[in-house]
Amino acid sequence: MYMSLYKLIGWCNNPSDLYLCWFVHVQGGKLFWGSGVTPCMKRSCTWVKKTNMILCCAGVRNYLKEVLMSLTAVHAEVFAMSHELVSRVLSRLIEGVAEEMARLLLCVHAFSTHGALQAHLELYVLQHSTSAFHTPISRQSFKQAVTLLPQISTGTERKLMADLVNRFNNNMKLQLICFQSVS
């Protein structure tokens, strides 16, 4: 259990902020929602000269997959010790992740069209993947985060988002099984 918790913690010194430090690389790595390319079905990267960044266009970004994989590892290790504790531990971790996601979205001053679509996609995937372990606090945090996002206006964007969610669910099916029901 300690190895996965350590990975989830990263380099944090404050034990009360175990789950909050995981998103540090989102800001440090300049993964902003204010600019970017359209999330798409193919894997490709684009060099953005103005911002001196490489933006990858591959649906759900890796930071979110890493968070879900770390939560999966914590689930496995806690389940191996006591399956009664799984719900309590994951609920607390997901509360922290949801609060941090809402805080990060609050820090965005303006969303580009593509950034808004990317944020909707990532928030939707996180919210629905972990729904079995939501608490009133995490539900409120997710609700706050959704209200911060501009609405998806076109049918094309909605279809693209649905396709990307389906692709993510198909690719991560095995890893997401532990989040389907509280056991």
pLDDT along the chain (183 residues), means of 10: 40 37 38 51 46 53 91 93 92 95 90 86 94 96 94 85 92 88 56
- Give pTM, 2 decimals: 0.71
Give the phi and the psi of residue 50 in degrees, each rounded to 5.
Answer: -60, -40
Token output for 95 = 């509360």
